[in-house]
Amino acid sequence: MRFPLFFLVIARISWWMDVSKEGRRGDYTPLIVDGLKGGIILFIFREICFFASFFWTFFHNSFNPDIQIGLLWPPVALKVFRPFQIPLLNTLILLGRGATVTWSHHHLIGGEEFKFPLLFTIFLGVYFTFLQGFEYLTAFFTIRDRIYGSVFFIATGFHGLHVLVGSIFLITCFFRSNTFHVLSLLGYEIAIWYWHFVDVVWIFLFSFIYWWGCSELIFDLKSNKGVSNSEGLKYI
């Protein structure tokens, strides 16, 4: 099992190196560029479907909580995060890094200094990862704490993994920035697309899982009656 994984990683690294060399040599025709852009669009669409499954699970269980979690959402006596502390700070960080990476891209197209905003974007991504790790360490529930813990850690954990991949993507672009020019920005633009996708996913995570899903009043859409969880709900 170890050797196939090892060879898979080697094959991927070799392919990425070949793609980078071909791009620097200017081997890409407009048809190849369109194919690469179409490939990353399909990849992002697949990731959208991937996260949509988590939101589907979240809404299904929040609208129809079963007796095992006390017929309430969040489950009874579960300490949840305050949405307007670290989660809000992480939201501002992601919005800021989306602005800085766009700033860097526009400066690069205009022939101006673009490395500083790119470096600042990377710093914000690393800082986001640090805050999320701190949040996990201080959590009073785990992935094994019923359906809420499972959905929370799987959804936010996979998003954190995407942030880490995006940061590595941009770090690679930073070290290759000396080879950038206006007519050959495909790799950097793909990294920016991926970065913005991760930002949008977090906005949905913050709005529904952190904020809406952790509120003290979850409305039953069928009967339009509020179900209070103020007795069992606790904030961290």
The total number of structural domains in the chain stands at: 1
Looking at the domain assignment, is residue 20 inside a domain? Answer: no
Q: What is the CATH number of the domain that holds 50?
A: 1.20.120.80
What is the pLDDT, as a whole number, of residue 46?
A: 93
Looking at the domain assignment, is residue 227 inside a domain? Answer: no
Looking at the domain assignment, is residue 93 inside a domain? Answer: yes
- Distance CA(97)–CA(166), nearest Å, equals 11
Looking at the domain assignment, is residue 56 inside a domain? Answer: yes
Q: What is the C-alpha end-to-end distance of the chain, expressed in Å?
A: 41
- Distance CA(101)–CA(105), nearest Å, equals 6
Looking at the domain assignment, is residue 55 inside a domain? Answer: yes
Token pair of 96, please?
């800021």
Domain that holds residue 61: 31-65+82-216
What is the pLDDT, as a whole number, of residue 63?
A: 83
pLDDT beyond 60 at 170: yes
Name the band, by pLDDT with cuts 50, 70 and 90, for residue 88.
very high
pLDDT beyond 90 at 92: yes
Q: Give strand ranges (E) for 65-159.
A: 79-80
Looking at the domain assignment, is residue 46 inside a domain? Answer: yes
Rg, the chain, Cα only: 21
27: left (phi over 0), alpha (psi -120 to 50) or beta: alpha
Looking at the domain assignment, is residue 14 inside a domain? Answer: no
Name the band, by pLDDT with cuts 50, 70 and 90, for residue 129.
very high
- Distance CA(185)–CA(187), nearest Å, equals 6
